[in-house]
Amino acid sequence: MEDKKETKNEEDDEDYVIDFTTSSAISKVGIKFLVLYLPIFWFSGLIVGVFWYQYMWFAINTNYLIWWIIEILCIPFFILGAVYIFIMASVFFSKLLLILINLIHKPKEGVFLAQWGDQDFEFWCLRTELKKLVLWFMNNSPVPLADILGFRWFGLKLDFSSHLYDSWCDLEYVKFGRKVLVGQGVTLMGSMVVGKYLIIKKVYLDDYVVLGGHATVAPGTIIGKETILGAFGVTNYNQVLEPGWVYLGVPPRKIKPNKYAEMRRDILIKKEVDDEKKYEIEHEVNIDDDKKDLV
């Protein structure tokens, strides 16, 4: 009886074991999904081959010494160009394949069993594995804004006023407001595996949100306007961080109001340090009426 009781307790404990499986590290993805990269790399390599064929054909058929010298000097640029042609072609073909996969099984929010046989879990793994490698190319590119272009191409809703500094962000069910600053090493998860369950829930970051370095945002998190989440903070599932506050800790708790949040942009605050006075001056903001909702 004692052995049976211990076994039952162990099984119950397994249901609550936290497995931080995210889009950047999937431990349960099978090798079969790696087959997806074969056609992507094949067609991408084919385009690079055509590029090099044209280059070599021109090099062989030229009869002028000056062109030979120019071609030799430009070899490093052609190699760099071939690398980026391969990356962009991989991103393009990955997007086409992702559209086909989403037509077969549309992504949806919810809590699903994280086990083989569950279609939502299997297609989630398929989508994540498909996007992971090509987005790694874009995220580590020295070209400015290449990471944001890659994230936008795969469905992340953000504009060019926001910044992602060497961070990882899920591409499904994550939406940014304007001028969001995401610190180095931050993980934004629209989906995660907890024990035996896959959780997929929308994450929303409102305008002027700041996430400190190595913070982790769980699925379902809503962060209000002009709120700061401190470094190494980890939000709970479905947690709501109120607008205009500074949050710290695991899970995050209110520390103090964000005094730098100016909810009324038409008021200037001036201080006279010597006289220890502070006063406000109201002024008219020169913004078109149809654009005031964007401020």
Range 183-203 average pLDDT: 89
| Least confident piece of the model among 84-93, 135-144, 178-187 | 135-144
Q: How confident is the model at residue 234 (pLDDT cuts 50, 70, 90)?
A: very high
Distance (Å, rounded) from C-alpha 146 to C-alpha 64? 38
- Which sign, positive or negative, has the C-alpha torsion 22, 27, 28, 29? positive
Domain ranges of the chain: 29-113+116-154
**Beta-bridge mates of residue 271:** 278
- Confidence check: pLDDT of 276 > 90: no
Q: Say how far residue 65 (Cα) sits from the centre of its chain.
A: 49
- pLDDT value for 23: 40
CB 124 within 8 A of CB 29: no
Percent over 70 (pLDDT), the chain: 74
Q: What is the DSSP string of 142-187?
A: SSTTHHHHHHHHTT-B--TTSEE-S-EE-SSSEEE-SS-EE-TT-E
- What is the pTM for the complete model shown? 0.70
pLDDT digits (tens, 9 = 90+) for 91-130: 889 889 889 999 999 999 999 998 888 899 889 888 888 8
pLDDT digits (tens, 9 = 90+) for 26-48: 444 456 666 778 888 899 989 98
Mean pLDDT, all residues of the chain: 77
